[in-house]
């Protein structure tokens, strides 16, 4: 099969070639149109109201953005 290589090199190179081919096909998949948003804010304790207001504001902005994108299609 592969001439001139020692047995241990063959044992390592063949699985690496197979892994490379698998990763190539895995990386070529179509990606979903998803944007992940993370927020950092207090949701417990004395500042919980401000943190929840921030979270609700982000959720409202996401809903508005999604409705605009749906109208454009």
Q: 46 or 4, which is more confident?
A: 46
Q: What does the pLDDT read at residue 12?
A: 79
41-69 residue pLDDT tens: 888 899 999 999 999 999 999 999 888 87
Tokens representing 63 are: 């809903």
For the chain, domain boundaries: 1-30, 32-73
Q: Which tokens is 58 given?
A: 């982000």
Give 9-31 pLDDT, tens digit per residue: 777 788 888 988 888 887 777 77
Half-sphere exposure for 2 (CA within 13 Å, toward CB): 11
Mention every residue, 6+ apart, whose C-beta is less than 8 A from residue 5.
Answer: 13
- C-alpha span between 16 and 49 (Å, rounded): 53
For residues 52 and 4, the model is more confident at: 52
Please indicate, yes or no, whether the overall pTM of this predicted structure exceeds 0.85: no
> CB neighbours of 51 closer than 8 A, spacing ≥ 6?
41, 42, 43, 44
């Amino acid at each position: 099969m592969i001439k001139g290589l020692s047995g241990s090199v063959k044992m390592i190179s063949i699985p690496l070639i197979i892994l490379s081919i698998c990763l190539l096909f895995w990386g070529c998949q179509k990606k979903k149109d998803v944007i992940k948003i993370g927020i950092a804010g207090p949701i417990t304790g004395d500042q919980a109201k401000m943190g929840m207001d921030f979270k609700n504001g982000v959720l409202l902005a996401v809903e508005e953005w999604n409705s605009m994108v749906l109208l454009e299609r």
